Each structure stands twice: as structure tokens, then as C-alpha cells.
Amino acid sequence: MTHDFHDLGEQPGVSYVMPVLNEEEHVAAAVASLLAQDYAGPSEVVLALGPSSDGTDAAVAALLAAEPRITVVRNPDGATPSGLNRAIEASSYPVVVRVDAHSILPADYTRTAVEVMQRTGADNVGGVMDAQGVTAFEQAVAVAYGSRIGLGGTRHHTSGKEGPAETVYLGVFRRQSLIDAGLFDEGFKRGQDWELNRRIRSRGGVVWFTPALKVGYRPRASVLALAKQFFSTGVWRGELARRFPANNGLRYWAPPIAVVLIVLGIIAGLLSEMSPWWLLGFVIPAGYLLIVIAASVIARAHGLKAMAWFVVVLPVIHFTWGFGFILGFLKLTRNLAEFTGR
């Protein structure tokens, strides 16, 4: 799939598409960042509104009344991929910007992305998820997001050199490329961005990473919310690894392997009455704990509270993601809709 570098024209119209579910606290700021873009071309904002249980509907209604560029479509099941597809189908411009309600786009985001797309001929352009916390807990999560020991050090979490990529955060797409690839697969409640980018690349398209794009992201605010997020992400990554084994690198296997080894080590240590040698099993979890404590130094810039939370955050991410991956890979999650949804 190749494109003329100038096939979009100088200022192509842009459609922002955002699934919204239980985002009363964040949706207004996210939408405001879209309306404040310094891009000179025409634009529209399409919100796919799910069945929220908080005040999201009222917040969206207020936005709709105040801004004619905003359109709302219903997303009955509340899932991210179906919401994105409903919003894309209701939009009209040749460039589609995928937005998350937890994300704040810098003012030059659209202009920069379109310029990169025109320069490279890419089908999808994306950048860095710049996690920024407010509380000590959120700051610890943000540090974990941007570290190799946290989420593996991928470019869309840590930045890096511009060029073709496996996947990118969010994404600025050519509409025709989205349509040709078949939009988002609604069978994947998470990991749908990676899976769509896999199909775009399989058709000869180019997914392009640029560190010039940085999107502010607010991490989950509690241990329970973080655990549910990463368990769900792990489940769907396990599903992707089972269905597309050749496309999933070794880094995705690190957390589930660590979980298995630590659990086996603890079991062996507890059964040491059978043989004193089995006490050596405790070396594995003890070694992991020492690594986590040592790694907490990377959060020192945010203070002692963030460092202390980091010792909690890192195992929560690793264990919930790893355990979810195992269940997803083994197809043992069909009755866990509460956790494996959006």
C-alpha cells in the first residue's frame, strides 16, 4: 500500500473520534484539547457515548450544546473498538485522529501528525504516551509506564528514533486505510490498536512512530483500578499471542513467565519439609522483591511517597498482567466479562 506524499492536500479535514464511558472527570478536558488544536484545516469531534453510570452523559450534553463541531453517537455495549467504529462511521474527513478520554493532546498534535503523514506517506502516525501523575500513586504508575522494567521500554512509552513501528499510541489514520483494513476488530476489547496496525502492515501499509508527538495521559488513580486495567490488558494480550504467535515478541512473555516462576518458587519453599533443598525456591520471589525495591530509585524525583508506591505498583502491573495473559492464552476467561471489557 503506497501513497503519494501529497495525496491528502495541504490542509485535509480531520475527524477526532473518541469512545466515552464513565469519564465524567476527564472528558471535558480531553475534548477541550481537541478544540484548541492549532491546525488550520476543518475539523469535527465525534464522541461515541457508552452507557455510563456516573455523570458522563450530562458532561457530554453540556459540551454538545456549547460546540457545533461536536457530534454524539451511541455505543450501546460501551466497548472501545465498537465505539471507535461507530464514531469513524459517523465522521466524514479524510484524516481520522483516534483519541482517548484520558488523554490531553498538545496544541500542535494534529498539525505535526498531518505534516509527518504527508512527508512519509504513512497510513498511521503516532507518538509517545506521556504518562503524568498528580498524586504520589499516579506518579509511581507514570514512572512504571515509562520504564523498561515496567512496560518493557517500547518506543510509544519511552520515546525513541522516528521510523516504521509495530504499533503506536492512539494514532492518526488515513480514513481510506482504515476502511481498507476493515476498521477495528470488535472481538478484541483491548489490544485492538495493535491488532489493527498488524492488519494495516500486512496489507503493505506503514505505521510510523515519531517522538514529536507526545500525548499527556492520566494514569489510574487506585490500586484496584490499576489492577483491573492490567488484568484486562493481559487477558487480551494473551488472546492475541495465541491467535497471532508469530507477531508477538518475547517481551510479552516476560510477565507470565515471571508469575509462573515466582508462584512455583513460593510453593517449593512452602514444601521444604519434603526436602531442605526446596527452600531454595524462596530465592526466586526474594530476588524479584529485591529487584523491585532497587528499581524504586527511578521514582526518586517524585519523592519518597512515590518511591514507596512504586514498590506496590510494579508487582501489581506484573502480576495482574501476567496472570491475565496466562488465562487469555489458555482461553480461560470467557466468563470474566466484568474484567475483560473496556
Helix axes 223-243, 304-329, angle to 10 degrees: 40
Q: CB-based contacts of 224: which residues, under 8 Å, 6+ apart?
A: none
CA distances from 83 to 43, 224, 302 (A): 19, 25, 36
CB 238 within 8 A of CB 245: no
Q: In this structure, how many other beta carbons lie within 10 angstroms of the beta carbon of residue 130?
A: 19
pTM: 0.79
Q: CB-based contacts of 178: which residues, under 8 Å, 6+ apart?
A: 88, 96, 196
pLDDT at 7: 66
Q: Which residues pair with 103 in a beta bridge?
A: 217
Helix (H) or strand (E) holding 321: helix 304-329
pLDDT at 36: 95
What 8-state DSSP symbol labels residue 159?
Answer: -
Q: Which residues pair with 173 in a beta bridge?
A: 96, 124
CB 112 within 8 A of CB 213: yes
14-221: CATH, from 3.40.50.620, 3.90.550.10, 3.20.20.70, 3.40.50.2300 = 3.90.550.10
List the grid coordinates of 111: 498539525
CA distance 180 to 199: 10
pLDDT at 338: 45
Domain-by-domain residue ranges, the chain? 14-221, 239-340
**DSSP SS3 for 323:** helix
CA distance 208 to 191: 18
CA distance 95 to 226: 32
Q: In this structure, how many other beta carbons lie within 10 angstroms of the beta carbon of residue 81?
A: 24
Query: Mean pLDDT for each 10-residue chunk of the chain (342 residues)?
Result: 61 95 90 94 95 92 92 93 95 95 90 95 91 89 84 64 89 95 88 90 94 86 92 87 75 86 91 82 92 89 91 94 91 56 44
